[in-house]
Structures are given as C-alpha cells and as structure tokens.
C-alpha cells in the first residue's frame, strides 16, 4: 500500500502553480539557503554521517594498519641502510686503503727491478749486478 502525503505550500520544494518556471524559482531559493562560505572540505566532512559507524570503524582500522605497516617498513629500511653504510665505512674503506698501499709498494718494486735490469743492459754482459736484499722478492718469481 502507498501512503500519499501533501506537501505544504511554504516548503522550498513545493510548487505553487505546478509549472516549470515556478519550480526553478523554488530551487533557486534552496540554493540560496546553502552557506556560501562552505568549502569542499566542509562538505566532505559533513558526509561522515552518511557512512555507518561499523564501516567507518573498519575503514579506520585498515588505514591504521596500513600506516603502521608503512612505518615499520620504513624503520626496517632505515636500519638496513644504516647497517650497510657503517659496515662499508668500517670494513670496506680500510680494506680499500690497504689494497691501494699494497699496489703502490708492488709498483715501486717493479720500478726498482726495471732500473736494475736497465743498468745491467747498459754496463754490458761482464758486469755482475749487486745482490738484492733478502725479503724483497720481485713479482713473477
């Protein structure tokens, strides 16, 4: 069964003559009732009451859990970057410096060996080269 209600004449939705012109004037009066200073954010905030409390609670729980997961992930990533950086500074940097020093020493030894060989070639086959000090082994031997 359908219940019919009569709309009062002073309502902004009611039409006085039932014509299209009068309905547009009544709608314009409804628009004028809206607050002109109302922002988009105010309108969105007013929509909160439309969503049921159980749905709002479920949405807020999901947002909270997502934010917590992102926070934990960021903290884990930060800790991992910290570990890698400090390990590189404490282990890799001194190792690189030692390897560079060793490469310089090897280059000096090669240069000394080449100088000795150049002297032997200039002096001739009859000249005996001085003995190398013990402990220095030329590379390749």
- Whole-angstrom distance, CA of residue 11 vs CA of residue 7: 7
pLDDT in tens, 8-64: 666 555 555 554 444 555 555 555 555 567 888 888 888 888 888 899 899 999 999
Q: Which of 14, 12, 7 is nearest to 34 (CA)?
A: 12
Domain edges within the chain: 12-49
More confident residue, 6 or 34: 6
pTM of the model: 0.41
């Amino acid at each position: 069964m359908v219940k019919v209600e009569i709309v009062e004449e002073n309502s902004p939705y009611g039409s006085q003559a039932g014509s299209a012109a009068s309905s547009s004037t009544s709608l314009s009066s409804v628009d004028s009732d809206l607050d002109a200073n109302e922002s988009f954010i105010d309108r969105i905030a007013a929509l909160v009451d439309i969503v049921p409390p159980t749905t709002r609670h479920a949405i807020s729980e999901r947002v909270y859990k997502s934010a917590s997961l992102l926070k934990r992930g960021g903290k884990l990533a930060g800790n991992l970057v910290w570990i890698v950086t400090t390990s590189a500074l404490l282990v890799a940097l001194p190792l690189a410096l030692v390897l560079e020093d060793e490469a310089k020493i090897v280059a000096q030894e090669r240069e000394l060996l080449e100088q000795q060989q150049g002297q032997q070639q200039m002096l001739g086959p009859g000249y005996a080269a001085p003995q190398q000090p013990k402990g220095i082994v030329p590379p390749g031997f």
